[in-house]
């Protein structure tokens, strides 16, 4: 399965750079914090150009699950792969149409909307559930199975037009309807459970911060991480503070209100963000180097390009999907047993060291400089990020190397 993912994954570094650069420099918090309204504010030429970059990068990540559905259907098809790819698109659309309509006709939309991040817009469907890459993989596998079963089917003369590969998109559409109906009833329970986890970890101190970091990273493949982190970022679950006489709710809102008013950033608010910087800027590139070093000699040149581009994307923009998806399904132990644990410790360490660096988009170098370094050490206590980050580079490199060698784990060169 991991091999089928490499085609869409190869696209992610370029999309990540576009999205990261565009998002970092068009955010209201950045423009207001540095008083750049006249130069980069909404309506200026620079703002419009950066917005184009952001939108072009965003469209890839918004539809990443669709790309995975096509890649899985294409990769697992035994023959007539182009038909399987088309059927993957048909199946993905039908799955979301069925899921959205089932929610509207049989679900309680108001109740579902009470879980932040569960209901949103996907592919133009206004009130549906984002099943993320996991949903794309599910429908891709279903379509591939149906394709391999029916692409040679023969019908009587009266129905012969629909024989063979022409039948695959039809049966895939019906299969996707069943999947969509099932997910419309199952997925809300997953979302509700994750929302409950968020409430549980909110008041557990450093242990809670560790659990937050682990759950956040572990949920990314399911596309349910939004359900988990959004309440911390934007609601009272992430804290309440009085800033300049105004009551502010949500960790991200508190952080930027404090920056805008020249107040030192609260580490309690920043604990949901600051842990990203050590592993996104320092740790992950070191892990990429470890995977490159352990690659087969004849495949190193191929792996090198992916690892370099993915590392640069992680360093500058904090977008880690190109790296994470490159080994997630090939070596789940590396992802859940190593990366998620190290990332969780990063969150806990930054909280313990009282780091106050926040972000608008992700934990890359751009946000680190804008909201950590430039406001000053007295405001954000950013120096521990660099110290811990350097240590994390060595930890990620040696731990990844040891696990790959010890357990003979697959790396991108083996896909």
Longest dimension (CA), the chain: 80
How many Å is the Cα radius of gyration of the chain?
Answer: 23
Residue 262 tokens read as 């020249």
Q: Could you tell me which of 218, 227, 67 has the C-alpha nearest to residue 139?
A: 67
Q: Is 384 helix (H, G, I), strand (E, B) or coil?
A: helix
Residue 385 tokens read as 């990020």
Q: How many CA atoms lie less than 13 Å away from 207 in the CB half-sphere?
A: 4
- Reported in sequence order, the residue ranges of 206-267 that DSSP labels E, i.e. its strands, are 240-243, 246-249
C-alpha separations of 252 from 23, 29, 158 in Å: 16, 10, 63
Contact between residue 273 and residue 252 where contact means Cβ atoms under 8 Å apart: yes
Phi, psi of 125 (to 5 degrees): -80, 115
According to DSSP, residue 3 is labeled G
Q: Tell me, what's the pLDDT at 210?
A: 96
Q: Tell me, what's the pLDDT at 196?
A: 83
Q: Tell me, what's the pLDDT at 175?
A: 97
Contact between residue 146 and residue 168 where contact means Cβ atoms under 8 Å apart: yes
Contact between residue 202 and residue 208 where contact means Cβ atoms under 8 Å apart: yes
User: Counting Cβ atoms within 10 Å, is residue 170 exposed (0-12), middle (13-18) or buried (19+)?
Assistant: middle
Contact between residue 240 and residue 204 where contact means Cβ atoms under 8 Å apart: no
Beta-sheet pairing, 240-243 with 246-249: antiparallel
Mean pLDDT by 10 residues, the chain (415 residues): 77 84 82 87 93 92 91 94 96 96 91 83 87 90 96 89 92 97 92 83 90 94 82 85 86 89 90 96 95 86 87 91 85 92 97 93 88 92 97 97 89 65
Q: Could you tell me which of 365, 349, 361, 350 has the C-alpha nearest to residue 314?
A: 365
Q: Tell me, what's the pLDDT at 413?
A: 60
Contact between residue 364 and residue 280 where contact means Cβ atoms under 8 Å apart: yes
pTM for the structure as a whole: 0.82
Contact between residue 54 and residue 23 where contact means Cβ atoms under 8 Å apart: yes
Q: Tell me, what's the pLDDT at 414?
A: 61
Q: Is 249 helix (H, G, I), strand (E, B) or coil?
A: strand
Q: Tell me, what's the pLDDT at 19?
A: 86
Q: Tell me, what's the pLDDT at 411?
A: 75
Residue 311 tokens read as 């590392």
Give dist(CA 366, CA 399) in Å, integer.
Answer: 27
Q: Tell me, what's the pLDDT at 325?
A: 87
Give dist(CA 312, CA 316) in Å, integer.
Answer: 6
Give dist(CA 182, CA 249) in Å, integer.
Answer: 36
Phi, psi of 273 (to 5 degrees): -130, -45
SS (H, E, C) 21-50: HHHHHHCHHHHHHCCCHHHHCCCCHHHHHH
Write the CB contacts of 65 (distance below 8 Å, at least 6 apart in sequence).
92, 130, 131, 132, 133, 134, 135, 136, 223
Q: Tell me, what's the pLDDT at 160?
A: 85
Give dist(CA 257, CA 273) in Å, integer.
Answer: 15
Q: Is 96 helix (H, G, I), strand (E, B) or coil?
A: helix
Chain centroid to Cα 37, Å, comes to: 30
């Amino acid at each position: 399965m991991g091999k089928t993912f490499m085609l869409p994954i190869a696209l992610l570094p370029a999309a990540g750079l576009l999205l990261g650069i565009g998002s970092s420099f068009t955010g209201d918090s950045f423009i207001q914090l540095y008083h750049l309204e006249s130069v980069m504010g909404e309506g200026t030429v620079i703002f419009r150009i950066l917005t184009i970059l952001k939108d072009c990068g965003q469209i890839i990540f918004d539809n990443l699950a669709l790309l995975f559905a096509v890649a899985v259907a294409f990769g697992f098809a035994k023959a007539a792969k182009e038909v399987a790819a088309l059927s993957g698109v048909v199946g993905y659309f039908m799955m979301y149409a069925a899921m959205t309509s089932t929610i509207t006709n049989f679900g309680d939309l108001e109740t579902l909307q009470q879980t932040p991040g569960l209901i949103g817009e996907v592919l133009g469907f206004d009130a549906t559930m984002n099943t993320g890459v996991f949903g794309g993989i599910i429908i891709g596998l279903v379509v591939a199975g149906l394709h391999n079963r029916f692409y040679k089917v023969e019908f009587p003369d009266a129905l012969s037009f629909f024989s063979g590969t022409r039948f695959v998109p039809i049966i895939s559409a019906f299969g996707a309807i069943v999947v969509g109906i099932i997910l419309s009833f199952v997925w809300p329970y997953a979302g509700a459970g994750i929302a409950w986890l968020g409430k549980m970890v909110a008041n557990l101190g450093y242990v809670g911060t560790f659990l937050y970091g682990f759950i956040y990273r572990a949920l990314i493949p399911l596309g349910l991480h939004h359900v988990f982190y959004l309440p911390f970022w934007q609601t009272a679950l992430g804290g309440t503070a009085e800033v300049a006489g105004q009551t502010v709710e949500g960790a991200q809102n508190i952080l930027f209100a404090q920056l805008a008013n020249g107040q030192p950033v609260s580490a309690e608010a920043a604990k949901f963000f600051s842990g990203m910087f050590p592993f996104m800027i320092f740790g992950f590139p070191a892990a990429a180097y470890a995977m490159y070093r352990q690659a087969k000699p004849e495949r190193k040149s191929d792996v090198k390009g992916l690892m370099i581009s993915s590392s640069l994307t992680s360093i500058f923009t904090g977008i880690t999907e190109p790296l994470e998806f490159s080994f997630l399904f090939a070596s789940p132990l590396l992802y859940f047993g190593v990366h998620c644990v190290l990332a969780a410790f990063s969150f806990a360490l930054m909280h313990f060291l009282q780091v106050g660096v926040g972000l608008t988009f992700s934990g890359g170098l751009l946000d680190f400089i804008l909201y950590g370094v430039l406001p000053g050490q007295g405001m954000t206590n950013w120096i521990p990020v660099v110290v811990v980050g350097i240590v994390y580079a060595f930890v990620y490199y040696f731990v990844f190397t040891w696990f790959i060698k010890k357990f003979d784990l697959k790396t991108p060169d083996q896909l």
